[in-house]
Chains A and B, each alone.
Chain A
Amino acid sequence: MISVALWSVALLLSLAPVGIALSTRPRGSIVLYGACLAVTATLCIAALLHLFDPAHPVSSATLPIGLPWLGAHFRLDALSAFFLVVINLGGAAASLFALGYGAHEESPGRVLPFYPAYLAGMNTVVLTNDAFSFLVAWEFMSLTSWALVVAHHREAQNVRAGYVYLLMASFGTLALLLAFGLLANGAGYDFDAIRASHPSAALAGMVVILVLLGAGSKAGLVPLHAWLPLAHPAAPSHVSALMSGVMTKVAVYGFVRIVFDLLPEPEWWWSMVVLLVGGPTATLGVLYALMQRDIKRVLAYSTIENIGIIFTGLGLALAFKAQGLDWVAALAFTAAMLHVFNHALFKSLLFFGAGAVLEATGARDMEKFGGLIHRMPRTAFAMLVGCVAISALPPFNGFVSEWLTFQAILLSPQLPSWGLKLAIPAVGGLLALAAAFAAACFVKLYGISFLGRPRSDVAAAAHETDRFSLAAMFALAALCLVAGVLPGLFIDALAPVSKAMVGNVMPHQTGLQWLTIVPIAESRSSYNGLLVFLFVALCGTAAASAIHRLASDRLRRAPAWDCGYPDPNPAIQYSASSFSQPIRRVFGSVIFAAREIGEMPPPSSRAPARLTVELHDLIWEALYAPIAKAISFATEHINVLQFLTIRRYLTLVFVALIVLLLVVAL
């Protein structure tokens, strides 16, 4: 099975130079994205077959590339297979979307060669089985995605995004490099050797911190998230979908592979660190999202929230595993992995929708949209499904994974450690807050963009997107519903992954009556998405048909009522900023140091009144800005060295020589 995977990666890599040739052809993008679709779909099916293989085989291969005499090691186990499914499902959907969307690309030469290479990079990361190939593949993935971020490099903000992204990616890889360096101590670079070694507790703890920094910066954990909302929206929309929906999951893979697989039994404080990062990430990410006006930026910040939820699940799994409660650990771990899958589905869907809107209107600012449900009815429907799913509302899939995470939290009073006893309820509260904020955020996104009246001419003239893009969106929307009403199937598919990582599985689900899911015992909790969905659908249609038949089905169109004072000017509608004003006022004064300054002109003046809103990104100002300032200060002063006279240079060389000799002598 691993040969299929490696051949697919090789095919994707060979498509990269083909992309250069195709980029000048009129229908080149269709050929390239079609080929990518075929390869990723094949690989997705192969990975699914591997995941569902009852024998749970582990196949490995060594290729004579990479370091001489060592070669590159590859391995396909349940965890890799699951992430291959996520990557290639997202990749196939993005390629299908790009069949239509890619035709509008202004500079295909900057996108087509890198797109298959980027897919190949992500696939390679989850297949590697030694530290060297892992890091090479990780960097390859980062660099190809960087090239895609700066594809539209004429816009100054994209260049800045690319610069910040490159810096943060280097920082992340450095942390991972150090982590592997520590692990390689006495074991070597091969993952099998690292697994067999027994690193000391202190060393393992240090590795966990480093991996949290390295993988966490790629995934977008607060406060290492600063690059994500800049870089993800800058790329073309199908690449944004891949970066947000899929690449952050590759980072989660890196964390899980090292912390759950390569390291020995966890200690309780590891989970504490992960939980204390994950919970605030979830809440802060979505609060940031609520304050944005740019539709793709909202989605990027909401990715940070979902990564927070995933890491909270992983933290809970670590806590239970450390305590030997591996049956609860299996529940928390499965919840996290299910959320990985779910988020890949709905975030890709939402980015596709945003891409369709961007293509139809040429704008990313939500204040320019409005009433798109009339002009783009199909896109609007698919987006509605995505918005409901990501807001964790039943009967869609986002609810199931959050529900499982909550069930794991409800079992955590069993943990003996006092730190965790105090931290977990707080994290539970943060997750609950994040869920409520997410609903508010997506009411805003959908209501401002798709409902109401057009706020600009471009929105009034928008048109429905093409068939391929719609097919990709509707396929993902359908999967969101299926994963929401039949979660048992997906939980069972994750059993081998959970078995391999935490040593236990959740109870078997698919055999249960009516396809209910029961995470622990029926007396404790159960949920049946199918029945809820059927009941709601049935009650809704029954009410509709009864009322239409027995009472009235007549309908008249008239101008809007609006308490008798309808204003034809669309500017009277609530805007994106005014919609979030109450939340900004309640939560923003602390978290964003938000201030509203109203300037009223004096009574006789005809000048307009002004309202200025000040928002501060405190994390950027407290963490990143000082570092950037210190570096620029240092470089400015060291720069003097470039403009010295020859005598001064000679003196410097002489002093350096003396110092070196002194060091050697002592």
Chain B
Amino acid sequence: MNALRDILSQGVQMLLVLLLAPLLTGFVRKVKARLLRRRGPPLLQPYRDLVRLMRKDVVLADNASWLFRVIPYLMFAGTWVAACLVPTFGNGLLFSWSADLIAIIALLGSARFFQALAGMDVGTAFGGIGSSREVMIATLAEPAILMTVFAVAMIAGSTQLSNVAEFMGSTAVGLRVSLGMAFVALTIVALAENGRIPVDNPATHLELTMVHEAMVLEYSGRHLALVDLSSQLKLLLYVSLIACVFLPWGTATADAGVATLAFGALLFLGKLTVLGFLLALFETSIAKMRVFRIPEFLGAALMLALLATLLRFVSGSL
């Protein structure tokens, strides 16, 4: 009975992240449009886009290799698996032990590695510029998030995300300086990793600061749909990661009943709404940075995360 419930819970989680991801993106877009006094596309527009793209033919560049055609599936699979391992409404994920927080970050790293390769496959200048900038951003964002993981893992005594979330939900945490620093660092990294506004602009590829959109410029049809879905999944992953580590209230524990699970799910939707709204608010109130200002922005995240880790080494209570 327990095993059945666990499998069900994991399965629901897998479908939930897949179904919610476009909605979150649509929601952020809608809020941004309303904040700018535009009406904006309907909330469900991302789903329509995905379906339309999937039905279209793929127009493949003449010299694209087999790798170019495989990469969208690899990216999607890697991101989806990573997103399935982040607790959303409940902690009792059946396979949470198969990859800890470091492995989840590394899975996203794999997806990015292949995406950067895809940008270089056709041999256009646009793809190269995107890949080159993406790896520059990654060289700062990845250490920053790893150090954040270190700080959080040392506080919780585990890199296992379910255990971290459970610990953060308990009263043993208390107020800590290092957690605050880790939170700021993680937020900055999340903005950079998802190509959100001060770092990159998800709405356009027609300006010289482009990163993500330039890499995927040659994709079309179902390939583009998968690439889009992966970045939507990634946004959901980061939002639920922040929610489960820093806003752990209401997350159902491993042995919770159906009612608690349902309550957890509702609360999770609430958290997504709040965080999505904050993201839209932040994006509308800040200007895009020049590309060589990004290292300073991310360097601040790296320093904060390093400081948080250092504090943990120096004192157990900070």
Interface residues, chain A, with chain B CB atoms under 8 Å away: 370-371, 373-374, 377, 380, 384, 388, 391-394, 399, 403, 406-407, 409-410, 412-413, 421-422, 424-426, 428-429, 432-433, 435-437, 439-440, 442-444, 446-448, 451-453, 514, 516, 522-528, 531-532, 535-541, 543-544, 547, 551-552, 554-563, 566-567, 570, 572-574, 578-583, 585-587
Contact = CB atoms under 8 A, between A and B. Distances in A.
Nearest to B229: A543
Contact of B113 (A391, A523, A539, A554): A391
Which 4 A-B residue pairs are closest in the complex by CB-CB distance?
A: A574-B128, A452-B123, A447-B120, A582-B136
B136 A410 contact: no
Interface string B66-99: 1100000110111011001000000000010111
B109 interface: yes
Given A388-B110, A451-B120, A537 B132 contact: no
28 contacts: A373-B121, A393-B106, A403-B103, A422-B313, A425-B313, A426-B306, A435-B146, A439-B113, A443-B135, A447-B120, A451-B123, A523-B160, A525-B100, A526-B98, A527-B99, A527-B103, A532-B81, A535-B95, A536-B107, A543-B77, A551-B51, A555-B60, A556-B57, A558-B60, A561-B59, A574-B127, A582-B291, A583-B135
A433 B55 contact: no
B58 to A, nearest CB: 5
Interface residues of B, number: 89
Interface of B: 51, 54-63, 65-67, 73-74, 76-78, 80-81, 84, 95, 97-100, 102-103, 106-107, 109-110, 112-113, 116-117, 119-129, 131-133, 135-136, 138-143, 146-147, 150, 153-154, 157-160, 163, 205-206, 217-218, 220-222, 225-226, 291-292, 295, 302, 306, 309-310, 312-314, 316
Contacts of A583: 135-136, 139
Contact of B313 (A374, A424, A554, A581): A424
A537 B110 CA distance: 13
Given A559-B62, A583-B135, A410 B95 contact: no
B123 A428 contact: no
Given A543-B73, A551-B54, A574-B120, A436 B136 contact: no
Chain B residues touching A, majority SS: helix
Contacts of B123: 370-371, 451-453, 560, 570, 573
Given A413-B154, A425-B313, A528 B132 contact: no
Contacts of B136: 440, 582-583, 586
A409 B59 contact: no
B15 to A, nearest CB: 12
Contacts of A547: 54, 222, 225-226
Contacts of B159: 407, 410, 524-525
B131 A532 contact: no
Contacts of A538: 77
Contacts of A391: 109, 113
A411 B123 CA distance: 45
Nearest to A526: B97
A538 B226 CA distance: 15
Nearest to B226: A543
Given A527-B99, A556-B59, A561 B73 contact: no
Q: Determine which residue in B61, B97, B133, B153 has the highest number of CB atoms from chain A within 10 A of its CB, and name it.
A: B97
Contact of A422 (B129, B146, B220, B310): B310
B289 to A, nearest CB: 14
B100 A526 contact: yes
B59 A574 contact: no
Given A451-B117, A453-B123, A522 B131 contact: no
Contacts of A555: 57-58, 60
Given A413-B313, A574-B125, A371 B57 contact: no
A100 B65 CA distance: 27
A10 B62 CA distance: 56
Contact of A574 (B62, B106, B129): B129
Nearest to B308: A425
A105 to B, nearest CB: 31
Contacts of B63: 371, 374, 453, 560
A540 B132 contact: no
A648 B29 CA distance: 92
Contacts of A582: 132-133, 135-136, 291-292
Contact of A573 (B60, B128, B143, B313): B128
A30 B13 CA distance: 57
B202 to A, nearest CB: 17
A516 B306 contact: no
Given A451-B65, A528-B99, A561 B222 contact: no
Nearest to A400: B103
Given A421-B313, A563-B126, 9 more contacts: A371-B123, A425-B150, A436-B140, A528-B97, A532-B98, A552-B55, A555-B57, A574-B127, A582-B132
Contacts of A573: 120, 123-125, 128
A562 B51 CA distance: 24
Given A425-B309, A452-B120, A540-B77, A437 B139 contact: yes
A560 B150 CA distance: 43
Contacts of B54: 547, 551-552
